[in-house]
Amino acid sequence: MKILIVGGVAGGATTAARLRRNDENCEIVMFERGKYISYANCGLPYYIGGTIQEREKLFVQTPEAFGKRFNIDIRIMSEVTAIDPEKKEVRVKNLETGNIYQEQFDKLVLSPGAEPLRPNLPGIKSEGIFTLRNVNDTDQIKEFIESRKPKKAVVVGAGFIGLEMAENLHKLGMQVTIVEMAEQVMTPLDYSMASLVHQHLKTKNVEFYLKDGVSRFEKTESKLSIMLMSGRKIESELIILSIGVRPENQLAQNGGLTIGESGGIFVNEHLQTSHPDIYAVGDAIEFTNPITGKRGITYLAGSANKQGRIAADNIIFGNTHLYKGSISTAIAKVFDLTVASAGVSGRTLKKEQIPYISSITHSSSHAGYYPNAIPMTIKIVFSPENGRLFGAQVVGYEGVDKRLDLLATVIKNNGTVYDLTEIEHAYAPPYSSAKDPVNIAGFVAENILKGKVKIATWRNLINYQQNDFILVDVRTHDEFQLGTIEGAINIPLDDIRQRLNEFPKNKKILIFCGVGLRGYLACRILNQLGFEDVYNLSGGYKTYEFAVQKQSNEDIYENNYIGIEDHIYQGHQPIKDTQPKTVTELDACGLQCPGPIMKLKSAFEEATPKQIIRVSATDPAFGKDVQAWCKVTGNKLIEIQLLGGKVIATVQKEITQQNTKQVIPANGKTLIVFSDDLDKALASFVIANGASAMGKKVTMFFTFWGLNIIKKQIKPHVNRNLIAKLFDFMLPSNSTKLTLSKMNMLGMGSKMMRSIMLKKNIDSLENLMLQAKENGIEMIACNMSMEVMGISKEELLDHVSIGGVASYLERAEEANVNLFV
């Protein structure tokens, strides 16, 4: 039997080797149009970044060694250009000599892979723009980096490969910007899980734009720029396009083979194409998803390898081996995080109208009392009918891979959440807990299915109307003080039985705690005491907080720096005090919120004034908590560092009396900007810039009509209700449309004013606003007014933060001038 194989990497090489192991006598010819076979595509980003140092390590096999070991005729630089299924013949072009010839087959295997998308955008052919698929691309990128030494790189597309590239270019010392059109990175994840990745990227000094696509590229002699759909321009020297791939289906299509609805080569469960003697495997095939029942393509090395083995068995032994489809089990390292998924996401289930329940749990990588336990987050989606596990996503630092593999095994075997409760894992304190995070995910899901608890998601919470329910934070008073969900009242878990009269019987009661466990206990108490409409917030405050924060961080490389608490500031980073100091170390690793704060609090009770304590915690929320705690208690936060999943905060005891709020000398200036008259807006920014120039801390609080001044000129599309549409229609759409409070004369007045200002060389309102941004003037938009007027935060300038009256009052406390304009 003569078997031809098209493609010599993951699927092709595996098929070839298995064929030979199955049959010593068949004739096997493998065609590969590139120079290399059986290389490690998955390692390419790490070779570019220097983690894999030797190029040879990328080659699992050379054509010579592979050909000899398996007695296979390997023809590199040979492209199969046509298939004639009837004559059972292919046409081959030798790319070195140009020679074209035919080759007969008894069986043919197609494993041509998938090619990266390169949309036909203006400027896309410019030098410095690359895609990454194979060794050739890798060599070109590596050569470009070594010869040009780029300082700025942009990665377009934030899928698994895009993020791996971002990390590797960052490792080489480049300023990396990621541009992603979707609202999140890594689409196999649901938004709440992707938000963990977003917040992590922010701590890594990587700039990223979400909900923004590339409209064109511009190349001048020295610069390469990307123009985004929002109108933004990013300058770069190196661009990696990683916006997706498409199956290489042309050869099959031209040969008359059936192509499926998603563009992949159609195969049956024996991996046979529409012609019985032609098989196909890998990234180019389309197959039925075992969960949704819909046909689709899986772009993963594991699937290609497994399919190669099955196809080889079916060719040699008849169609004995069934392929059951892929559940797309995938994992990626994103800086310090590990991100993994299997099965389908909640978003896909929703799209396919498959009923599901989702549940989020936060657990530790191993026993909390053993050093260095680090939290991980697990999201599972499952059937409300029978508990079948549809999908799982895990994000964390350690032990993510083994949890995801357990979950994937259950999904693959059509298992249920009840199976998760019974998994018998290997346990000793350094490796896990007696109840593994996977068991915990199962227990929680079982409780939901058996009606022991009703859950609400963070999305339910933001979509509810405020007066539909009462929101109860059952964490301790100290935790509540450090930050909570707006509108929540605090009834600590241990006080519930004494404060039952504060829970209404005629309203939904929405309970939340840090991660969901105390919330569950609170729900059980209330349920058993006759309260029925009680819900626990899945994933607790932690999930909510990650998901509702600002997800992207634009413009960080424009004269900006990231402050200790991960906020981005304009200007120059303050120089650190380098005087050597005695520092007391405090280990709070393994403790979950509020453990680290509690430990810090008791250490401070013992500490002497001015003593410095460096506390290490593995709870990622500690970064935010410690800032809030320092603010509330008046102690000084010197530094926060993030090292390999640990938050390390250095704090100095500033006061002699505990819990006495530090008295801040009041010399800041605050302005409440209420009006959107052009003259008043001008006056506000002139005063604000003037005060800032004199070294004062200035805060501008924009409320009601004042919000019109800080709207973007190019706004993203937002869905509005009728009232919001009306406001949008009637009000100025941005600062350039403002009118004068007097002598406006149907807009003539404001035009006159702008032209006089120009003649007299006085800065325009827009320039003044830009200066204010550059001067580091804090601009806060009033969230209550935004709600009333139906304005979303995406419509406002990116550097504007959202805050309530409390934010304003806090600034006013520190100010000695408060103006209302």
Binding site for ligand FAD (CB under 6 A): 6-7, 9-12, 31-34, 41-42, 44-45, 79-80, 111-113, 132-134, 161, 248, 251, 282-284, 299-302, 304
Question: CB of 58: closest distance to ligand FAD in angstroms?
Answer: 11
Coil, strand, or helix at residue 422?
Answer: helix
Question: CB of 597: closest distance to ligand FAD in angstroms?
Answer: 38
The residue (of 282 and 596) whose beta carbon lies closer to ligand FAD is: 282
Asked if 511 and 472 count as a contact pair (C-beta separation under 8 A), the reply is: yes
Question: CB of 94: closest distance to ligand FAD in angstroms?
Answer: 11
On the 0-12 / 13-18 / 19+ scale of CB atoms within 10 A, 162 is buried
Asked if 781 and 800 count as a contact pair (C-beta separation under 8 A), the reply is: yes
The residue (of 115 and 728) whose beta carbon lies closer to ligand FAD is: 115
- Return d(Cα 472, Cα 247) in angstroms, integer: 51
Question: CB of 807: closest distance to ligand FAD in angstroms?
Answer: 43
CA dihedral 160, 162, 167, 171 (to 10 degrees): 140
- Return d(Cα 655, Cα 284) in angstroms, integer: 66
Question: CB of 302: closest distance to ligand FAD in angstroms?
Answer: 5
Q: In the structure encoding, which two tokens stand for residue 157, read together?
A: 């597309």
Handedness of CA 269, 274, 278, 284 (dihedral sign): negative
Question: CB of 132: closest distance to ligand FAD in angstroms?
Answer: 5
The residue (of 188 and 442) whose beta carbon lies closer to ligand FAD is: 188
Coil, strand, or helix at residue 425?
Answer: coil
The residue (of 308 and 516) whose beta carbon lies closer to ligand FAD is: 308
On the 0-12 / 13-18 / 19+ scale of CB atoms within 10 A, 239 is buried
- Return d(Cα 790, Cα 722) in angstroms, integer: 9
The residue (of 12 and 415) whose beta carbon lies closer to ligand FAD is: 12
Angle, alpha carbons 399-401-407 (nearest 5°): 110
Which CB contacts under 8 angstroms, 24+ apart, belong to 56-59?
58/135, 58/138
List the beta bridge partners of residue 361. Answer: 378
The residue (of 299 and 382) whose beta carbon lies closer to ligand FAD is: 299
Question: CB of 275: closest distance to ligand FAD in angstroms?
Answer: 16
Catalytic residue among 42, 513, 589, 593: 42
Which CB contacts under 8 angstroms, 24+ apart, belong to 599-603?
600/626, 600/629, 600/649, 600/651, 601/478, 601/629
The residue (of 33 and 799) whose beta carbon lies closer to ligand FAD is: 33
**C-beta nearest to ligand FAD: residue:** 282
Q: In the structure encoding, which two tokens stand for residue 310, read together?
A: 């099955």
Name residue, tokens 């102690």: 635
Question: CB of 290: closest distance to ligand FAD in angstroms?
Answer: 18
Coil, strand, or helix at residue 310?
Answer: helix
List the beta strands (DSSP E) in 422-479.
454-456, 469-473
**Is 42 in the active site?**
yes
- Return d(Cα 107, Cα 326) in angstroms, integer: 24
- Return d(Cα 707, Cα 780) in angstroms, integer: 10
List the beta bridge partners of residue 28. Answer: 3
- 806: which residues sit within 8 A by CB, 6+ positions away? none
Question: CB of 307: closest distance to ligand FAD in angstroms?
Answer: 8
Question: CB of 80: closest distance to ligand FAD in angstroms?
Answer: 4
The residue (of 143 and 606) whose beta carbon lies closer to ligand FAD is: 143
Name residue, tokens 């906020």: 567
Handedness of CA 394, 399, 405, 411 (dihedral sign): negative
- Return d(Cα 283, Cα 112) in angstroms, integer: 8
Asked if 26 and 316 count as a contact pair (C-beta separation under 8 A), the reply is: yes
On the 0-12 / 13-18 / 19+ scale of CB atoms within 10 A, 282 is buried
Q: Read off φ and ψ for residue 513, nearest 5 degrees.
A: -135, -155
Question: CB of 79: closest distance to ligand FAD in angstroms?
Answer: 4
The residue (of 9 and 488) whose beta carbon lies closer to ligand FAD is: 9
The residue (of 33 and 680) whose beta carbon lies closer to ligand FAD is: 33
Q: Find the DSSP H helices in 514-589.
A: 517-528, 540-548
The residue (of 80 and 311) whose beta carbon lies closer to ligand FAD is: 80
Maximum Cα–Cα distance across the chain? 96
Question: CB of 739: closest distance to ligand FAD in angstroms?
Answer: 55
> Per residue in 686-715, is it b (16+ CB within 10 Å) or e — as a string?
bbbbebbeeebbbbbbbbbbbbbbbbbeeb
- Return d(Cα 364, Cα 549) in angstroms, integer: 23
The residue (of 63 and 282) whose beta carbon lies closer to ligand FAD is: 282
List the beta strands (DSSP E) in 368-488.
375-382, 389-396, 454-456, 469-473
Question: CB of 32: closest distance to ligand FAD in angstroms?
Answer: 5
Q: Read off φ and ψ for residue 771, nearest 5 degrees.
A: -60, -40
Q: Which residues are catalytic?
A: 42
